[in-house]
Amino acid sequence: MVRKLVAGVLLALPLVVTASSGGEHLEQANTNINSQASLQRGAQLFSNYCLSCHSASYVRYRRLADDLGLTEAQVLENLAPTTEKIDDMMVVAMLPEDAETWFGVAPPDLTLVARSRGVDWLYTFLKSFYLDDERPTGWNNVLFDNTAMPNPLWQLQGIQAAVFEERAGHASLAGSKLVYAQTEHVLSGLEIIEEGIMTEEEFDQAVNDLVTFLEYIAEPSRIKRESVGIWVLLFLAVFTLFAYFMYKDYWRDVK
Ligand code: HEC
């Protein structure tokens, strides 16, 4: 039994190693979906900077009012385009065909993107745009190479440029052949070449808020589920205490 277990773990080990080694470096998003202030700021950023291209078509404005602690009027005024009503979904006005003509790819719906990509990926992605003359939009992204999306937050973050490192050419053996690798330019980091209206700290907070909002819309019931969960656990703890005293009481005379 033990031997089988050990063999199993050993067999699985290379899989774990390969899965973790290929990954890109991701920054930690550290989101807190129980912070209503963060969710409110994130919703505002989403509405200002993303909703012009992306929908979140499973999200109804009314639900935002309920979960984010806003009035319906506040939601309609601040988060929805002018023609929208409180029971509408967060759908972009742009036609998918037009979007495809403009960008080559239609911007995907973002309702579930926090689940498919994960919050750390989103956080790093939104911070990793840099200028690239060779791209049609003028932008590229470290995490999503040659993305069709232009940097939506450049006014806040400022403009980043890529820093390249020269990796010298070298000769190596491939089988019996001698191969010469050319000198390569490898992207080694990003630097701000034009300041944005936010400091680095403020921008990190803004992206954190935005990603918190994306995490919330991917599973809106989570906020309620977690707060109900705490009460259930408290109830069980108190109930256990009572059950224990009753048990003591019942058995007191039986000895
Ligand atoms: C000008 C239009 C435009 C704006 C504004 C925009 N995006 Fe995008 N976005 C795109 C396009 C186009 C793609 C598809 C990129 C591709 O596939 O190369 C995309 C892709 C993405 C993806 C990758 C989805 C995936 O899993 O492949 C994420 C995440 C994303 N956008 C988030 C955002 C967020 C968050 C904002 C607001 C801060 C935003 N976008 C603003 C056009 C836009």
Q: How far does the centroid of ligand 1 lie from the alpha carbon of residue 107, in Å? A: 6
Cα 109 to middle of ligand 1, angstroms: 9
CB 48 within 8 A of CB 57: no
pLDDT in tens, 161-187: 999 888 877 778 877 888 777 777 788
Q: Say how far apart CA 173 and CA 135 lie, in whole Å.
A: 36
String of b and e for 213-249 (b: at least 16 CB within 10 Å)? bbbbbbebeebeeeeeeeeeeeeeeeeeeeeeeeeee
| Atom nearest to 214 CA in ligand 1 | 35
Interval 108-131 mean pLDDT = 97
Q: How close is the Cα of 248 to the center of ligand 1, in Å?
A: 62
pLDDT of residue 201: 97
| Rounded Cα distance, 255 and 252, in Å | 7
Q: Bigger pLDDT: 16 or 231? A: 231
Spell out a b/e string for 157-185, using b for 16 or more CB atoms within 10 Å of the CB, else e: bbbbeeeeeeeeeeeeeeeeeeeeeeeee
* Amino acid (one-letter) located at 173: L
The closest residue, in CA terms, to atom 15 on ligand 1 is 148
Distance (angstroms) between ligand 1 centre and the Cα of 210 equals 13
Q: Given a cut of 70, is residue 1 above it in pLDDT?
A: no
Atom of ligand 1 nearest to the CA of 52: 5
Ligand 1: distance of its center to the CA of 108 in Å? 7
**Ligand 1 centroid – CA 190 distance (Å):** 20
Q: Give the separation between CA 217 and CA 172, rounded to whole angstroms.
A: 51
pLDDT of residue 172: 80
Q: Are 119 and 64 in contact (CB under 8 A)?
A: no
104 versus 122: which is more confidently predicted? Answer: 122
| pLDDT of 213 strictly over 90 | yes
pLDDT tier for residue 63 given thresholds of 50, 70 and 90: very high
Contact 98, 109 (CB under 8 A): no
Averaged confidence pLDDT in the chain: 89
Write out the two tokens for 129. Answer: 């745009």
Residue with the two structure tokens 């009572």 = 242
pLDDT of residue 18: 43
| Residue 210 Cα: closest atom of ligand 1 | 35
Between residues 4 and 92, which one has the greater pLDDT?
92
Q: How far is Cα 113 from Cα 46, in angstroms, rounded to an integer?
A: 13
**Closest atom, ligand 1, to C-alpha of 122:** 29
Chain centroid offset of residue 250 CA: 54
Around ligand 1, the residues with Cβ closer than 6 Å are: 49-50, 52-54, 103, 105, 107-108, 110, 113, 116-117, 122, 125-126, 147-150, 152-153, 210
Among protein residues, the one with the nearest Cα to ligand 1's atom 14 is 107
What is the Å distance from ligand 1's center to 21 Cα? 27
User: Which residues neighbour 37 within 8 Å (Cβ) at sequence distance 6 or greater?
Assistant: none
Ligand 1 pocket, mutate which of 54, 98, 120, 217 (most atoms under 8 A from CB): 54
Q: Check residue 90 and give left, alpha or beta (phi > 0: left; psi -120 to 50: alpha).
A: beta
